[in-house]
Amino acid sequence: MKKYLTLLASLLLTTACSDENSKIRGEFIAGCMNGGSSKAVCACTFEKLETKYSPSELRGINRLAAPPESFLKEAILAAKICRTNSN
């Protein structure tokens, strides 16, 4: 019985994190598109940021009033690369 409860708890935590990560991704892409970039460039940028930041780091950054300067620099660099690759 304990094994099943442990498995259920881990599945629930994974699902909750996935849902939150999907929400963060959607919010990022929407904000990026509001800034004038295409959906493809915004999605590419977020994918590049996911390689630099763990899901928990992205959730933490999302909770801040303003993202750290280092995150903004990474996002700008990633967006430039994505724009270049989309042309």
pLDDT tens column, 49-86? 999 999 999 989 998 989 999 999 999 999 999 999 98
């259920």: which residue's tokens? Answer: 8
Tell whether the model's pLDDT for residue 38 goes beyond 90: yes
Range of the domain at 43: 2-86
Q: What is the pLDDT of residue 71?
A: 95
Total number of domains constituting the chain: 1
**For 17, phi and psi rounded to 5 degrees?**
-65, -40
End-to-end CA distance of the chain: 56
